[in-house]
Amino acid sequence: MMRVIFLKVTYNISLKNSKIEYIEMSDHITHLKELEAESIYILREVAAQFERPCILFSGGKDSIVLTYLAYKAFYPAKIPFPLVHIDTGHNFPETLTYRDELVKKLGADLIVGYVQDSIDEGKVKEETGFNASRNKLQTVTLLDTLAKYKFDAACGGARRDEEKARAKERIFSHRDEFGQWNPKNQRPELWNIYNGMKNPGEHFRVFPISNWTEMDVWQYIYQEGIELPSLYYTHKRKVFFRDGQWLAAEPPVILRRPEEEVVEKEVRCRTIGDITCTGVTLSHAHSIEDIIDEIASSRVTERGGRADDKRSETAMEDRKKAGYF
């Protein structure tokens, strides 16, 4: 009988108040340790295979966990690639505050692309009407930012369990010279062998936490004590009801219909994106433990409250083919 030991962990590192603490651990390998090890391996592969990688940072829990993993992967050195945030101008203020605080705490570099600049330059036309959103417009800003800084790999926090289009995504996902995704033209990924070869002008989107689930992310956040934007916890907010979901009435970004009454509710964000497309959830979850319990009993998918995914049956796939994250 042959015994194979895949991984033996004696110590783990945890980020507390910008300092690394070493925590003694048992030899038992939990599923979270396996997922963490896989993600760190992928991030190091990105650093080894590409010349100018970056991390796409939205301020949501997935990109926060990804940034935290990158911090672990290269400690005690700083994260070797910058964070790239595409600011639509319709972000929650809490998200931007958290972003700036995290960058300062980790000593990371930050590059911000502004959708408003793309609008002012005439590259995109702002939508109008009650369902107007800048979410789709940010694709142009993203591609321009990647081209401006000549990034050849952009790491994102997308996961396969989020949405059917993302379930088809490779971990090393090839993009052509126009930044477009062709689901029928992707490389095979055997075991942990990733092929980052490309032609000039092409790039890759890389998803180190692709194999994680929403529950894995929250359990890891709880295990590591990762701080999150206050939006993820229950708070009082003025909201209104539209198409089966609650939307934020403040900041006043969304144009409301006359019959859409604004009320104050106890809500939280299950995902964080544009104010115009991020539905909020009625909740009483004031801690990570409460959130984990809430998700365990939920029968609504994580992106069930995202208005941008409901524009058509293939909304996410169509955006991805155009170059969306």
- Say how far apart CA 90 and CA 248 lie, in whole Å: 12
pLDDT attached to residue 14 = 54
Q: Which two tokens stand for residue 205?
A: 């989107």
- Say how far apart CA 113 and CA 67 lie, in whole Å: 18
pLDDT attached to residue 192 = 87
Contact 274, 91 (CB under 8 A): yes
Q: Which helix (H) or strand (E) holds 47?
A: helix 31-49
Q: What is the pLDDT of residues 134-186, one digit of tens each?
A: 888 899 999 999 999 999 999 999 998 887 777 788 899 999 988 888 888 88
For the cut 70, the answer to whether the pLDDT of residue 9 exceeds it is no
Contact 247, 254 (CB under 8 A): yes
Tokens 């990762």 sit on residue:
226
Give which of 138, 151, 112 is closest to 320, Cα–Cα.
138
CATH numbers and ranges of domains, the chain? 31-226+316-321 (3.40.50.620), 230-308 (no CATH)
pLDDT attached to residue 12 = 53
- Say how far apart CA 214 and CA 249 lie, in whole Å: 27
pTM of the predicted model, to two decimals?
Answer: 0.86
Q: Are strands 235-242 and 172-175 parallel, antiparallel or unpaired?
A: unpaired
Q: Which two tokens stand for residue 226?
A: 């990762």
Q: Average pLDDT, stretch 251-276?
A: 92
Q: What is the pLDDT of residues 277-302, one digit of tens each?
A: 888 999 999 999 999 999 998 877 77
For the cut 80, the answer to whether the pLDDT of residue 307 exceeds it is no
pLDDT attached to residue 89 = 93
Q: Which two tokens stand for residue 133?
A: 């959103």
